[in-house]
Amino acid sequence: MMSNSVNPHIDQELLVRYLSEETTTSENEAVRRWLSADERNKAEYDQLKMLWEASGKVKEAVSVNIKGDWKKVKSRIDNNQRIRSLPSAKEKRGILTHLIRVAAVVTLLVTVYLGWPVFSDWGPVEMITVTVISDTSTVVLSDGSRVVLNRNSRLVYPVEFKGNVRTVTLEGEAFFEVVEDPSKPFLIKTGEAITEVVGTSFTVNAGIKNKVLVTVLTGEVLLYPNANQEHKLSIVPGEQGQLKNGSELTKTQNEDINFLSWKSGILVFRSTPIDQVVQDLNTYYDLSIKVGSSALKSCMLTATFERQSFEDVLAELQLVLPIQIQSNEGNIILTGVGCK
């Protein structure tokens, strides 16, 4: 047997055949003889076998397409940058941050000055009515409080607040940012409900039939029926108070993170089921998109849209979810095979 060069007596093609398990019985016998003839033969075979097996294990890497996948990542980066550079988005964000800051200051004051409101008559004053049909509108009241009215809403308020209470009347939905004044409680009348404010920011939605919804962002709000002012429901941040049919007062945790989207211009989704996403988009854009296949119900969306056009939002939906969008005579229908 040669001592310097390893395995001079084996046919390399035979070894390949052996590794491929394509040998005949007599060939098997030949390989086995060769293996047991010298330890170095065995060592060489072990190395080949190991490379053989390792190569079989890396086959999945074939589908990794670095160039193509980089294009995907890059287009997502570009897309996100385009969204962020929309001027209105920045502008709007600025306003919101400002609002939240103001509201936070008010919240601090509330805890110090919280007391019983005093009711008293107030003389006849000139009233102003603001009606908003489309878009939203901001009203600044004589005490400095701000009211942002949602579309299809109406606010009636005095030119100047007189007397011991500040009273306004609302139909529809509005966001209130009330200037703190413990000596003059702020009352919002909405049909059968009265919302009493102790200096805070919150929304009142009286746009639903027989129902008034009050959602609090900061501070504390009291909600009670016009007919029974003894029974007051206290609502704090994160909660939503509801008065139904003029007398049924209930309170739930507010789970709708988009309750302010109409005002902030920001829609936020966090693993939100597609049904809810569509509902929020319909509310925000005043549309009637439909989910066309039940398979899609398994899809969840995590995304933030800031003051984007509806077309942009749909384009982004298609990027992140396996959905097709069909537009048919003004009806928009989402279809697809669903999500894993």
Partner 1 sequence: MQKTDELLFKSIQEGDLDAFENLFNKYYSVLCIYAHSLLADMESARDITQDVFLTIYENKSSVAIKSSVKAYFYRAVHNACLNYLKTTNVHAKHHLQIASQNLISDNHDLMVRAELEAQIFEEIQKLPPQCRNIFQMNRFEGRKNKDIAAELGISVRTVETQISKALKILRQNLAHLIPTILLLTSAA
Q: Closest distance between partner 1 and the C-beta of residue 139, in Å?
A: 38
Residue selected from 3, 4, 8, 13 as contacting partner 1 according to rule CB under 8 A: 13
Q: Which is nearer to partner 1, 58 or 133 (CB)?
A: 58
Identify the CA nearest to 50 among candidates 96, 19, 29: 19
Q: With binding defined as CB under 8 A, does residue 105 bind partner 1? A: no
Q: Closest distance between partner 1 and the C-beta of residue 205, in Å?
A: 32
CA atoms of 268 and 331, how far apart (whole Å): 24
Q: Which is nearer to partner 1, 23 or 335 (CB)?
A: 23
Q: Which is nearer to partner 1, 40 or 290 (CB)?
A: 40
Q: Closest distance between partner 1 and the C-beta of residue 252, in Å?
A: 26
Q: With binding defined as CB under 8 A, does residue 294 bind partner 1? A: no
Q: With binding defined as CB under 8 A, does residue 17 bind partner 1? A: yes
Number of residues interacting with partner 1: please give it, by CB under 8 A.
Answer: 36
Q: With binding defined as CB under 8 A, does residue 133 bind partner 1? A: no
Q: With binding defined as CB under 8 A, does residue 20 bind partner 1? A: yes
Q: Which is nearer to partner 1, 62 or 133 (CB)?
A: 62
CA atoms of 222 and 203, how far apart (whole Å): 12
CA atoms of 240 and 258, how far apart (whole Å): 13
- Positions in 65-94 near partner 1 (CB under 8 A): 66, 69-70, 72-74, 76-77, 80
Q: With binding defined as CB under 8 A, does residue 64 bind partner 1? A: yes
Residue selected from 59, 101, 135, 255 as contacting partner 1 according to rule CB under 8 A: 59
Q: Per-residue contact track with partner 1, 188 to 217, x per CB under 8 A? A: ------------------------------
Residue selected from 1, 2, 58, 112 as contacting partner 1 according to rule CB under 8 A: 58
Q: Closest distance between partner 1 and the C-beta of residue 61, in Å?
A: 4
Q: Give the 3-state secondary structure of the chain.
A: CCCCCCCCCCCHHHHHHHHCCCCCHHHHHHHHHHHHHCHHHHHHHHHHHHHHHHHHHCHHHHHCCHHHHHHHHHHHHHHHHHHHCCHHHHHHHHHHHHHHHHHHHHHHHHHHHCCCCCCCCCCCCCEEEEEECCCCEEEECCCCCEEEECCCEEEEEECCCCCCCEEEEEECEEEEECCCCCCCCEEEEECCEEEEECCCEEEEEEEECCEEEEEEEECCEEEEECCCCCCCEEECCCEEEEEECCCEEEEEECCCCCCCHHHHCEEEEEEEEHHHHHHHHHHHHCCCCEECCHHHHHCEEEEEEECCCHHHHHHHHHHHCCCEEEEECCEEEEECCCCC
CA atoms of 146 and 142, how far apart (whole Å): 9
Q: Which is nearer to partner 1, 48 or 128 (CB)?
A: 48
- Positions in 253-272 near partner 1 (CB under 8 A): 271
- Positions in 25-54 near partner 1 (CB under 8 A): 46-48, 50-54
Q: Which is nearer to partner 1, 84 or 290 (CB)?
A: 84
Q: Which residues bind partner 1 (CB under 8 A)?
A: 12-13, 15-17, 20, 22, 46-48, 50-64, 66, 69-70, 72-74, 76-77, 80, 271, 340
